[in-house]
Amino acid sequence: MSAASATTAASAELATARLRPRRARAPLGEGRARVAKAVWLGLVSLYFVIPLAATAAFSLEGEHGSYTISAYTQILSSSAFSSAFLLSLRLAIETIVLAVVLVVPTAYWVRLRLPKLRPVMEALSFGPFVVSPVVLAVGVENVFRKAPSWFIGSPNILVVLYVVLSFPFLYRALDAGLRAIDVHTLTEAARSLGAGWALTLWRVILPNLRTAIISGALLAFAIVMGEFTIASLLLFNTFGVYIETVGMTAATGAAALALISFALTWLAMGGLVLVLGRAGGGKGSVARQVQIGVTR
């Protein structure tokens, strides 16, 4: 289906471009080409909507063809759900705080005083895509197997690793944010008025990077709330792991959880688009920041 209609869309586009003299304000896609493109987008969106709709229908299935919301009420009232969900929520908040504390001053400092380090930061920001979560889990097990149990045996280790997974997104957002402001002038102005480094960072730089920090934080939130690989391999019962456990026993419950998780992702990404839209980031800014979204 896909290949055939794709060719139609492309050739229709070419045909109209050749045959019709273009009117003054006519956009590129026109007439038949516009229809072909709309049809193509419609077909593609079916592929995305059907699984969601079917999952919703499946999650509401009761006995003998009836419909019920019991899958949702059961999950939301179970203590396993709330403890796993709250654990992930806690991890997400801790990850965001640690990542911001670690990365914001570094990104600022590199921009201001250590421009030679920028290629290193760029390279490190691709690190988590080369050392994928599975490999990272293996490596961490190698290196920290004999570490004290308050570190390796507690969810603290997950926070530490989620900071690594979130780093590319936060750094990219901050890099764009720092490029948009005149870091040197702002810093010199603050310093010449007598502000120390900490005060400069807190009162001058940080407010200017609000958009970047919020969007980085929302991406980190989406990553942590859905993370399964590292948590399950290091044997922690996070929200992601809980969803998988439910899937082993309750099919409708798993479908309900899939939808809840989808809604959470919407919440984070919708917030991201809102924040960036208000900041007037332009067409490509969202795309540029979530580009390499898949770390699972």
Partner 1 sequence: MTALTDAPVVVDEAVGTRRPRPRRRSLAWLGAVPFLAYAFLFLVLPGVSVIVSAFQNTNGSFTTQWVRDLFQGQFLSANVNSLELAALSAITGGVVGFLAAYAVVTLGRPRWLRSFVTTFSAVAANFAGVPLAFAFVATIGSEGAMTKLLENALGVNISSFNLVSVTGLVVVYTYFQIPLMVLVVAPALDGLRREWREAAANLGASATQYWLRVGLPVLAPSVIGAMLLLFASGFAAYATAVALTSGLVNLVATLIGNYLSGNVIAQPQMGQALGLDMLVVLFVAVGLYLLLQRRASKWVR
Q: Which stretch binds partner 1 (CB under 8 A): 82-90, 126-134, 148-156, 205-213?
A: 126-134
Binding mask 37-66 for partner 1 (x = CB under 8 A): xx-xx--x--xx-xxx-xx-xxx-x-----
Cα separation, 274 vs 287, in Å, equals 13
- Asked if 266 interacts with partner 1 (CB under 8 A), we say yes
Closest distance to partner 1 from the beta carbon of 90 (Å): 19
Closest CB to partner 1 among residues 3, 66: 3
With CB under 8 A as the contact rule, the residue among 46, 76, 80, 138 that binds partner 1 is: 138
Closest CB to partner 1 among residues 196, 244: 244
Closest distance to partner 1 from the beta carbon of 228 (Å): 4
Closest distance to partner 1 from the beta carbon of 259 (Å): 8
Q: What is the largest CA-CA distance in the chain?
A: 76
Between residue 105 and residue 124, which ones bind partner 1 under the rule CB under 8 A?
105-106, 109-120, 122-124
Distances in whole angstroms, Cα of residue 70 to Cα of each of 9, 59, 62, 110, 185: 45, 9, 8, 53, 60
Closest distance to partner 1 from the beta carbon of 260 (Å): 8
With CB under 8 A as the contact rule, the residue among 224, 254, 275, 281 that binds partner 1 is: 254
Closest CB to partner 1 among residues 42, 82: 42
- Asked if 84 interacts with partner 1 (CB under 8 A), we say no
- Asked if 8 interacts with partner 1 (CB under 8 A), we say no
Between residue 187 and residue 226, which ones bind partner 1 under the rule CB under 8 A?
222-223, 226
Cα separation, 179 vs 182, in Å, equals 7
